Amino acid sequence: MPELPTPLLAQDGAAHAAIGWGGLATSLLLVGVAVGLSRWQGLRLDREIVWASLRALVQLLAVGYVLVVLVDPDTPVAFAWAWVGAMVLFAAVTVRRRAPEVPGITSLAVVALAVSSAISLGVVFGLRIYPVAGRAIVPIAGMMIGNSIGGLVVAARRLIAELSERRPEVEARLALGQPWPEASKPFVRSSLRTALTSQIESTKAVGLVFLPGAMTGLILAGADPVDAVLVQAALMYLILGCVATNVVVVGLGLTRRLFTPDHRLVRLARART
Amino acid sequence: MGALFALEGVGLEIGGHRILHDVTFTVPDGGITVLLGPSGSGKTTILRLLNRLDVPTSGSISFRGDPIDQLDPLALRRRVGMVFQQPVVFPGTARDNLLTARPGASDDELAERLRAARLDRSVLDQLADDLSGGEAQRLCLARTLATDPEVLLMDEPTSSLDPEARRHLEATARSLVERGMRMVWVTHDLDQADRLGDHRVVIVAGRPATEREMVRYLADGSVDEGAVDEGSAADEEDEGPPADEADDGPPAAEDGPVDDSPSRRADA
């Protein structure tokens, strides 16, 4: 495995990447364009756009100031791990908001995200791809957890929809004396495939269709593009593994909750589209 | 004749709706017992309870004398097979369908089940989705027979079939019963009940019918207003002892109604 150029994160790229308050203010011109288009088309989204832009700025600044502390070499690494824990909780709440019809999704998402984070970060730091430091822990965990939210939501919602729509077939299988893991297998498999396909397609399209964030950031920060590609490739693999772990954990955990111990399918709420 | 199934004071509530109310009757251990009643009266729900796809919220059900909640549900379902109203075939060939119920079986074993369901062995290689409605339902029957059940629960299995396919399936059922199979057959078709039923139980509004309801239903298929709506019709009031034994005669006749006046029915 290639030794990835950790120091490039701290190189003089910061000078290239910094745009300053002036640059930020200039970029606000594009928000003005969005507001203008909204008014021109009578979309009545002016306030929404301004509010979203300001809120994003405040949230990012707040996180930025926290990150300043977390990535400081003098800050105990335990704070970075605590931040990862908070990210897992926030991500689980986000999943719950996006899939409210799924019973017990919050706790399932916490378990799935914790397991996948432990595995992924264990690989990253156990194999010394990056040093165990706040400046590596926080962004890498953030990328993996953030990218897993979509897969979690799709897996959970798809599974509920499959078992709800295909209830007659599931019950026909149960009525033959099949245990629930067997009776649900075709539908669990289909849901997990759907949830993972999007991430696999993204992985296939990377570089050809879009340049992913980490790589773009590194290049903007002045890193050598090939070094940036190596970092990005490693992250893509980690994200793929993390999303797969999340999808499988939540899929299997949720399936277990949808059947009773005496092999009956519980009544399911219809997923809202 | 002993009891195949015995239901005692069975009730079922789902989401605050009362679906079944104090259902008490027995299914004799032989022949075809027809569960007869209007749509939405709870017949299918009773069948699901016998297969343990649902469990009652009150009362008890026994199968050949054993409380079914104390039997292994998977073993029970293989002993008590169920054929659903709409044929549900699984993806793949007829062979794949049969192997789902009897993994590892030889073609000869599978062909024997097909024959019992009056399907030709050549069907084995056909895609299940390509079968006609009647063939698909008979494949479902063969698939259920592949678990070697002691009794078959038939949930209006001919309701989606044309008249010829319906006659064919009825004849298949009769031939199976002649070879010792027991059946509980749900229908709202009075003629079919007459043709098939060795015993019958009339279900109305989530409970066995009173004598008055049964006489009226068997005469012209009608029920008192308010006694049709599943869940809402099974009222809080006691209708008196329900039908006890399914028999050739009116099932509630032995115990008879205590009070069957229209005013009580209107409260339902």
Kindly report the nearest CA distance between residue A174 and chain B, in angstroms: 8
Which residues 18-47 in chain B show a CB within 8 A of chain A? none
B54 touches chain A (CB under 8 A): yes
pLDDT confidence bin for B252, thresholds 50/70/90? very low
Give the pLDDT confidence of B145-189 residue by residue, as tens digits: 999 999 999 999 998 888 888 898 899 999 999 999 999 999 988
Longest alpha-carbon distance in chain A = 70
Kindly report the nearest CA distance between residue B165 and chain A, in angstroms: 21
Instruction: Retrieve residue B166's tokens.
Output: 């319906």
The sign one gets for the Cα dihedral A128, A133, A134, A135 is negative
User: Best of A166, A171, A176, A180 to disrupt the B interface by mutation (most B CBs within 10 Å)?
Assistant: A176
Poorest-pLDDT segment among B36-40, B136-140, B247-251: B247-251
Instruction: Retrieve residue A23's tokens.
Output: 């640059």
Cβ contacts (< 8 Å) between A262 and chain B: which residues?
52, 55, 73
Instruction: Calculate the average pLDDT of chain B.
Output: 83
Cα–Cα distance for residue pair A31/A51, rounded to 1 Å: 11
B77 touches chain A (CB under 8 A): yes
Cα–Cα distance for residue pair B54/B74, rounded to 1 Å: 13
Kindly report the nearest CA distance between residue A172 and chain B, in angstroms: 7
pLDDT confidence bin for A106, thresholds 50/70/90? very high
Confidence check: pLDDT of B248 > 80: no
Out of A169, A174, A267, closest to residue B77 by CB: A174
Instruction: Retrieve residue B38's tokens.
Output: 């209007």
Q: What is the rounded average pLDDT of the residues B50-68?
A: 95
B52 touches chain A (CB under 8 A): yes
Confidence check: pLDDT of A212 > 50: yes
Are A176 and B101 an interchain contact pair (Cβ–Cβ within 8 Å)? yes
Out of A168, A263, A264, closest to residue B84 by CB: A168
Contact B20, B70 (CB under 8 A): no
Confidence check: pLDDT of A264 > 70: yes
Cα–Cα distance for residue pair B19/B203, rounded to 1 Å: 12
Contact B22, B59 (CB under 8 A): yes
Size of interface A-B (CB pairs under 8 A): 52
Poorest-pLDDT segment among A224-228, B28-32, B81-85: A224-228
Q: What is the rounded average pLDDT of the residues B210-235?
A: 64
pLDDT confidence bin for B78, thresholds 50/70/90? very high
Instruction: Please enumerate in sequence order all residues whose Cβ is within 8 A of that of B55, keeping only pairs 6 or more positions apart, or say none.
Output: A262, A264, B49, B69
The pLDDT assigned to A270 comes to: 65
The pLDDT assigned to A20 comes to: 83
pTM reported for the whole predicted model: 0.78
Are A173 and B90 an interchain contact pair (Cβ–Cβ within 8 Å)? yes
Cβ contacts (< 8 Å) between A170 and chain B: which residues?
none
Tell me the residue type at B261. Answer: S
Higher local confidence (pLDDT), A207 or A246: A246
B167 touches chain A (CB under 8 A): no
Cβ contacts (< 8 Å) between A169 and chain B: which residues?
88, 90
Out of A168, A177, A264, closest to residue B88 by CB: A168
The pLDDT assigned to B265 comes to: 31
The pLDDT assigned to B61 comes to: 96
Q: Chain A residue with minimal CA distance to B97? A: A173
Q: Give the number of residues written for chain B.
A: 268
Instruction: Calculate the average pLDDT of chain A.
Output: 86
B258 touches chain A (CB under 8 A): no
B67 touches chain A (CB under 8 A): no
Out of A172, A264, A267, closest to residue B88 by CB: A172
Three-state DSSP string of chain B: CCEEEEEEEEEEEECCEEEEEEEEEEEECCCEEEEECCCCCCHHHHHHHHCCCCCCCEEEEEECCEEHHHCCHHHHHHHEEEECCCCCCCCCEHHHHHHHHCCCCCHHHHHHHHHHCCCCHHHHHCEHHHCCHHHHHHHHHHHHHCCCCCEEEEECCCCCCCHHHHHHHHHHHHHHHHCCCEEEEEECCHHHHHHHCCEEEEEECCEECCHHHHHHHHHHCCCCCCCCCCCCCCCCCCCCCCCCECECCCCCCCCCCCCCCHHHHHHC
B78 touches chain A (CB under 8 A): yes
User: Which residues of chain A approach chain B closer than 8 Å at the C-beta?
Assistant: 168-169, 171-179, 186, 262-264, 267
User: Best of B14, B47, B51, B53 to disrupt the A interface by mutation (most A CBs within 10 Å)?
Assistant: B53
Q: What is the rounded average pLDDT of the residues A78-102?
A: 92
Three-state DSSP string of B216-255: HHHHHCCCCCCCCCCCCCCCCCCCCCCCCECECCCCCCCC
Q: What does the CA dihedral A261, A265, A267, A269 come to, rounded to 10 degrees?
A: 110
Cα–Cα distance for residue pair B21/B46, rounded to 1 Å: 11
pLDDT confidence bin for A12, thresholds 50/70/90? very low
Cα–Cα distance for residue pair A74/A79, rounded to 1 Å: 11
Percent of chain B clearing pLDDT 70 (strictly above): 83
B144 touches chain A (CB under 8 A): yes
C-alpha to C-alpha distances, A224 to A12, A212, B159, nearest whole angstrom: 12, 15, 71
Cβ contacts (< 8 Å) between A264 and chain B: which residues?
52-55, 73
Cα–Cα distance for residue pair A228/A222, rounded to 1 Å: 10
The pLDDT assigned to B258 comes to: 29
CA nearest neighbour of B157 among B149, B169, B146: B169
pLDDT confidence bin for A50, thresholds 50/70/90? very high
Tell me the residue type at A48. Answer: E
B222 touches chain A (CB under 8 A): no
Cα–Cα distance for residue pair A247/B109, rounded to 1 Å: 40
The pLDDT assigned to A271 comes to: 56
Instruction: Retrieve residue A200's tokens.
Output: 């696999």
Cα–Cα distance for residue pair A41/A38, rounded to 1 Å: 5
Confidence check: pLDDT of B68 > 60: yes
Poorest-pLDDT segment among A48-57, A87-96, B239-248: B239-248
Give the pLDDT confidence of A128-167 residue by residue, as tens digits: 888 888 888 988 899 899 989 999 999 999 999 999 999 9
Instruction: Retrieve residue B181's tokens.
Output: 């199979």
Are A262 and B100 an interchain contact pair (Cβ–Cβ within 8 Å)? no
Q: What is the rounded average pLDDT of the residues B19-37?
A: 93
Looking at the predicted complex, does its ipTM rise above 0.90? no
Three-state DSSP string of chain A: CCCCCHHHHHCCHHHHHCCHHHHHHHHHHHHHHHHHHHHHCCCCCHHHHHHHHHHHHHHHHHHHHHHHHHCCCCCCHHHHHHHHHHHHHHHHHHHHHHCCCCCCHHHHHHHHHHHHHHHHHHHHHHCCCCCCCHHHHHHHHHHHHHHHHHHHHHHHHHHHHHHHHCHHHHHHHHHCCCCHHHHHHHHHHHHHHHHHHHHHHHHHHECCCECCHHHHHHHHCCCCHHHHHHHHHHHHHHHHHHHHHHHHHHHHHHHHHHECCCCCECCCCCCCC
Q: What is the rounded average pLDDT of the residues B42-68?
A: 95
The pLDDT assigned to B226 comes to: 54
The sign one gets for the Cα dihedral B137, B142, B146, B150 is positive
Confidence check: pLDDT of A29 > 50: yes
Are A175 and B77 an interchain contact pair (Cβ–Cβ within 8 Å)? yes
Q: Chain A residue with minimal CA distance to B142? A: A176
The pLDDT assigned to B216 comes to: 83
C-alpha to C-alpha distances, B101 to A213, B49, B68, B123, nearest whole angstrom: 51, 21, 21, 17
Give the pLDDT confidence of A115-132 residue by residue, as tens digits: 999 998 998 888 888 888
pLDDT confidence bin for B254, thresholds 50/70/90? very low
Confidence check: pLDDT of A258 > 90: yes
Are A168 and B86 an interchain contact pair (Cβ–Cβ within 8 Å)? yes
Cα–Cα distance for residue pair B252/B23, rounded to 1 Å: 12
Instruction: Retrieve residue A11's tokens.
Output: 């190189």
